[in-house]
Every structure is written in structure tokens, then in C-alpha cells.
């Protein structure tokens, strides 16, 4: 018997086989029937496996810039993904809430020149630095975005300084995203509308834009105390406004800082009234300094800002380690026992919690890439 394969017959068989495959696969009509390989590829009554689960839902993820190419344009619809793994175990000081106060345009040496006696008292009874730095682009909105997001400008993407809603909001996870996601109550009291673009409305439980003097702004903030809060940001704008109009360190500007300083006393009195001083961490800082009638440049007067942390439990100290405006968000997060975000450039100022500065900025931390 001849067992040799007939080439012509083999080719015909191959053509038939190929034709069947071409017909069956696109139609999926063969799926429930024994297939060419003699087995049922799909249980009767179910869809082919490739369709049996929903297609994966795209997930917005924050990608640190060291693993992606920074984009020159910024997407306003960015949805942050919050990392839930704490990077350090917070030390308990009984802190239950944080108030961040920004004196717009308060350069470091204005604290003494004004003088701001109440702030100086907080410095003497808390921890402070008068050599903290804002970001290189020492401008109100980008700098405040770094203050509250803990990130360099290249990451939060805010490169504008006027209200520009079509540009959206500061990118990434800021302290308001983090606190709100943890169920904490967040409050933002600001004197300039553009600061709205740092925190998405859904992450601020209370947002008040107050066009008024420092006492009026502070009264609005104090009104929130009885209802309770966990994170409050208060922004005073008069010092910056008068700096642009009359010059940095002018009498008019220093008067504005004194007014803001008096408002600080209002706040402390209110915290005392409600018995909250011991459980509240107050951080006072600024977005930038200034010189002449501007603050854009690379002068130390533009970049050097005060950074003050006060709580009765803080051991008084002058902080000697380099502090960035970006450390504000990180310190607030640490105090509130919220997870630090890996993409943040800011580092908690551990020294105020009585801890060694086991994590410090690199020497060139002021240069945001």
C-alpha cells in the first residue's frame, strides 16, 4: 500500500480547511459548535471569552515626571489618583486640624519691619524659618499652587496668574484633594478669585472669595469655626496689592501686613474661645516676597519667605534646614495623618513634630525641574 502523501490532494485539503476558517472566525458562528479542532471553544449560552468581561475602564493616573515626558500644555480635566500608602508614621501631638495662612507678598524681612508682633509671638513659641523659599517663578498663582499641592510648577502645571478658567485646575493631588478624599472638612477663604484654580470646587466644602480688608477676611474664616473644619486655608491679599501700588516695604504695604497680623490675634482668640488652640496646627507663610513694585525676578527679596508653624505642643525652635513653600502641603498632610504623595516635591518639616529631619531636600531643591 502506498502511504506517500499525494501533494495535489494535500493542497486541496489545505484550501478547504482555510476556507472554513475564514468563514467561521469572523462570524463567530462556529463558537458554540464543535470547532475545527474538535472541541467546544465556548460554553453554550455564554459569549466568547474575549467579550465575557467589560472592557477595562481607563483610569486616570498621575505619572511622575521622571517616567513621562512633561507636556507643554496642561489638561484641565485631570483626575488625580490618590496614593493611600503612608510614607511615614505621624507622631501624635494631638493635632486635629490645620490652618494654613498666606500673606500674599510677605517677604521674610517684612515680618520684623512691619512689625508683625503676633506673628513674631508665634515664631517665638513655635518653629520658624525666615529663609524659606518660594518657587523660582515667584508669582501668586503658581506659587500658591506649589504651596498647596506640594509640587513644582512643572507638575501642577499652573503657569498663569490671572483667572483663566478654561485652563482648569492645578494638576495632581493637592492637600485639598487628599483631605477631602479622607472625609475631612476643607475650607478655603481667599482674597483673589484666581486661587480658586488651585482646588477643584468639589474638594472644598466651604469656599469664600472675600473682597475686603484683613479683619473682614478673618471674620469670614472665624465664622467657619463653630461648624467645625479639618483643613482651612486663609489668604490675605492686601500686602501684595499695596506692594504693586506703593512699593515693597513701603509704609502702606507694611501697614497691610500689620493689619493682617492683627487678624492673626483675632484667630487665636477665636480658637481659644472654642477651646481649639491645643489641637490646631497653624502654618503661616507667603507665596513670594518682592522689591520695588514687583516680585518677578530672581532676587532673594522675591524668593525668600517666612515659614512659621505654631501649636502649643511644638518645641520652640528656629528651623535651620532648607524649607520650601512646597513643604507646606506635605507638613499639613503629615499633621493630619494623610498619606504623603510620592510625586510631591515638598517634604514635611519633621522638626516641628520633634523628629529629626530624616528626609531633607537635595541641595538644589529650589530648582524645580
The residues that touch Zn ion, with contacts defined as CB under 5 A, are 104, 140, 240, 287
Q: Taking Cα atoms as reference points, which of 202, 218, 201, 198 lies closest to residue 263?
A: 218
Task: Measure the CA–CA gap between 330 and 213, rounded to whole angstroms.
Answer: 29
CB closer to Zn ion, 195 vs 338: 195
CB of 287 to Zn ion, least distance (A): 4
Task: Measure the CA–CA gap between 190 and 209, rounded to whole angstroms.
Answer: 5
Range 90-116 burial, b when 16+ CB lie within 10 A, else e: beebebbbbbbbbbbbbbbebbeebeb
CB closer to Zn ion, 174 vs 240: 240
54's torsion region: left (phi>0), alpha (psi -120 to 50) or beta? Answer: beta
Phi and psi at 113, nearest 5°, equal -70, -30
CB of 202 to Zn ion, least distance (A): 25
Task: Measure the CA–CA gap between 307 and 285, rounded to whole angstroms.
Answer: 5
CB closer to Zn ion, 174 vs 287: 287
What the block records as the C-alpha cell of 264 is 492673626
CB of 243 to Zn ion, least distance (A): 9
CB closer to Zn ion, 205 vs 302: 302
Residue nearest to Zn ion (CB): 140
CB of 238 to Zn ion, least distance (A): 11
**Four-CA torsion 260, 107, 169, 333, nearest 10 degrees:** -80
Using CA atoms, how far residue 20 sits from 4, 32, 38, 353, in Å, is 26, 15, 14, 74
My answer on whether omega of the bond before 59 falls inside 30° of 0, hence cis, is: no
Task: Measure the CA–CA gap between 223 and 225, rounded to whole angstroms.
Answer: 6
CB of 342 to Zn ion, least distance (A): 29
CB of 105 to Zn ion, least distance (A): 5
CB closer to Zn ion, 287 vs 304: 287
215's torsion region: left (phi>0), alpha (psi -120 to 50) or beta? Answer: alpha
CB of 318 to Zn ion, least distance (A): 25
CB closer to Zn ion, 31 vs 143: 143
CB closer to Zn ion, 104 vs 230: 104
CB of 102 to Zn ion, least distance (A): 8
CB closer to Zn ion, 190 vs 323: 190
CB of 47 to Zn ion, least distance (A): 59
Measured in whole angstroms, how far is the alpha carbon of residue 28 from the centre of its chain?
Answer: 50
- Let me know if 10 is exposed, middle or buried by CB neighbors in 10 A (0-12, 13-18, 19+): exposed
CB of 244 to Zn ion, least distance (A): 9
Secondary structure (3-state) at 351? helix
The 127-133 sheet, strands edge to edge:
206-209, 186-190, 231-236, 97-103, 280-285, 304-310, 127-133, 317-318
Partner residues linked to 189 by β-bridges: 208, 234
Task: Measure the CA–CA gap between 303 and 291, rounded to whole angstroms.
Answer: 10
Amino acid at each position: 500500500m502506498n502511504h506517500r502523501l499525494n501533494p495535489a490532494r494535500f493542497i486541496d485539503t489545505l484550501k478547504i480547511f482555510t476556507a472554513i476558517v475564514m468563514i467561521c472566525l469572523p462570524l463567530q458562528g462556529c463558537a458554540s459548535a464543535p470547532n475545527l479542532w474538535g472541541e467546544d471553544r465556548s460554553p453554550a449560552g455564554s459569549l466568547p471569552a474575549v467579550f465575557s468581561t467589560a472592557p477595562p475602564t481607563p483610569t486616570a493616573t498621575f505619572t511622575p515626571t521622571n517616567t513621562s515626558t512633561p507636556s507643554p500644555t496642561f489638561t484641565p480635566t485631570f483626575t488625580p489618583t490618590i496614593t493611600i500608602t503612608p510614607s511615614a508614621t505621624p507622631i501624635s501631638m494631638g493635632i486635629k486640624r490645620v490652618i494654613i495662612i498666606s500673606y500674599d507678598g510677605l517677604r521674610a524681612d517684612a515680618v520684623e519691619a512691619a512689625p508683625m508682633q503676633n506673628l513674631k509671638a508665634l515664631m517665638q513659641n513655635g518653629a520658624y524659618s525666615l529663609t524659606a523659599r518660594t518657587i523660582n517663578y515667584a508669582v501668586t498663582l503658581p506659587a500658591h499652587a506649589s504651596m498647596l499641592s506640594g509640587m513644582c510648577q512643572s507638575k501642577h502645571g499652573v503657569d498663569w496668574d490671572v483667572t483663566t478658567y478654561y485652563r482648569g485646575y492645578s494638576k495632581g493631588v493637592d492637600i485639598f484633594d487628599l483631605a477631602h478624599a479622607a472625609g475631612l472638612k476643607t475650607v478655603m477663604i481667599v482674597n483673589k478669585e484666581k486661587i480658586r484654580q488651585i482646588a477643584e470646587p468639589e474638594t472644598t466644602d466651604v469656599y469664600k472669595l472675600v473682597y475686603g480688608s484683613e479683619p473682614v477676611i478673618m471674620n469670614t474664616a472665624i465664622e467657619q469655626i463653630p461648624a467645625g473644619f479639618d483643613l482651612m486655608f486663609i489668604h490675605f491679599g492686601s500686602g501684595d496689592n499695596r506692594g504693586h501700588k506703593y512699593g515693597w516695604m513701603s509704609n502702606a504695604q507694611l501697614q497691610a501686613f500689620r493689619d493682617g497680623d492683627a487678624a492673626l490675634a483675632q484667630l487665636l482668640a477665636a480658637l481659644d474661645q472654642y477651646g481649639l488652640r491645643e489641637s490646631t496646627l497653624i502654618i503661616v507663610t507667603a507665596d513670594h516676597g518682592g522689591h520695588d513694585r514687583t516680585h518677578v525676578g530672581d532676587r532673594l527679596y522675591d524668593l525668600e519667605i517666612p515659614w512659621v508653624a505654631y501649636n502649643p505642643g511644638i518645641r520652640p525652635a528656629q528651623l535651620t534646614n532648607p524649607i520650601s513653600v512646597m513643604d507646606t502641603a506635605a507638613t499639613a498632610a503629615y499633621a493630619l495623618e494623610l498619606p504623603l504623595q510620592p510625586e510631591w516635591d515638598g517634604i514635611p518639616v519633621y522638626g516641628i513634630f520633634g523628629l529629626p529631619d530624616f528626609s531633607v531636600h537635595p541641595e538644589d531643591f529650589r530648582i524645580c525641574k
